């Protein structure tokens, strides 16, 4: 479903990694999350998270086996990076849930759940730095509550007779290609923003920005399919855009080594950016 692309946690053994994404001081991320739809999304997200965990448990594919230590280390650093950038009142609690579902990848829900499959980590050849980029990308979606922006845009496009419920709007998006085509520029803006925020958050957490782009390089090399409507920018374009931001990411990593997580401001709020289909 589309919500899994836009949205989407690590149970290491029986322990959930949790922490309030709180902090103070000068922020790298100046995201003012969209709080509309919050109650309805929180309820919907709880159902999605519960259903995913239940499905993985039923199949015996819940929890990590191969990458437990790596995930604990990387997600802990990304979570601390996010905590330093968001006020407590504006940020969700971040939890990483790991499965071994072969049909899953990495995604995040606006309530702060971030999901990743160990099968995806293996198949995408993620190392420590590229895993950091992937997780930071998904954390960015959660912090910005991109689902709320998506629902607001979709609600403006669906027929007036359709009830303004989360389920009804997602059902319309699932079956109305015209709505998705009209929404594609916004969805691609969100992905570009999450790429940029993810790269900078990973650099702020001390990961190598050049190595962090290994996932996008792998995707660009292996991309071969043509699609009618893309919610994500083309892989080659994503890679080129992120490579152009490497000098800034390198500086952020170097500055953090000297002055710490709370000392750097880089990213503007999305509401300060023009809507062009590809955010600058």
**256, two tokens:** 């953090």
Tell me the C-alpha distance between 74 and 132, whole Å: 6
| Residue 102 pLDDT | 96
Looking at per-residue pLDDT, the higher value among 68 and 229 belongs to: 68
Of the candidates 86, 89, 110, which has an alpha carbon nearest to the alpha carbon of residue 38?
110
- What tens digit of pLDDT does each residue of 180-227 get? 666 677 778 888 889 999 999 999 999 999 999 999 999 888 865 544
- What tens digit of pLDDT does each residue of 87-121 get? 665 667 899 999 999 999 999 988 889 999 999 99
Tell me the C-alpha distance between 137 and 174, whole Å: 24
Alpha helices in 145-234 (DSSP H): 146-157, 166-175, 177-204, 209-212, 214-222
Tell me the C-alpha distance between 251 and 201, whole Å: 12
Q: Is 160 helix (H, G, I), strand (E, B) or coil?
A: coil
- What tens digit of pLDDT does each residue of 57-91 get? 999 999 999 999 999 999 999 999 888 887 665 66
pTM to 2 decimals? 0.75
- What tens digit of pLDDT does each residue of 27-59 get? 555 555 555 566 676 777 788 889 999 999 999
């Amino acid at each position: 479903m589309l919500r899994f692309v836009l949205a989407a946690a690590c149970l290491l053994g029986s322990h959930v990694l949790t922490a309030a994404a709180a902090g103070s001081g000068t922020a790298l991320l100046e995201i003012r999350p969209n709080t509309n739809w919050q109650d309805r999304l929180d309820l919907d997200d709880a159902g999605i998270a519960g259903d995913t965990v239940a499905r993985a448990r039923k199949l015996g594919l819940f929890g990590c086996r191969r990458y437990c230590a790596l995930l604990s280390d990387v997600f802990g650093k990304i979570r601390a990076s996010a905590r330093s950038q968001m006020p407590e009142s504006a940020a969700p609690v971040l939890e990483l849930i790991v499965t071994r579902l072969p049909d899953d990848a990495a995604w995040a829900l606006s309530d702060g759940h971030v999901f990743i499959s160990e099968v995806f980590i293996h198949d995408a050849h993620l190392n420590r730095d590229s895993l950091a980029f992937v997780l930071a990308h998904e954390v960015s979606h959660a912090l910005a509550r991109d689902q709320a922006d998506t629902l607001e845009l979709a609600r403006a496009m669906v027929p007036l007779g359709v009830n303004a419920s989360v389920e009804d709007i997602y059902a319309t998006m699932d079956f109305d290609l015209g709505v998705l085509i009209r929404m594609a520029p916004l969805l691609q803006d969100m992905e570009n923003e999450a790429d940029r925020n993810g790269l900078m958050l990973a650099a702020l957490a001390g990961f190598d920005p050049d190595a962090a782009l290994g996932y996008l390089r792998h995707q660009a090399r292996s991309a071969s399919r043509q699609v009618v409507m893309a919610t994500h920018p083309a892989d080659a374009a994503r890679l080129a855009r992120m490579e152009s931001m490497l000098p800034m990411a390198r500086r952020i990593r170097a500055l953090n080594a000297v002055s710490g997580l709370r000392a750097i401001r880089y990213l503007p709020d999305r509401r300060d950016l023009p809507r062009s289909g590809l955010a600058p």
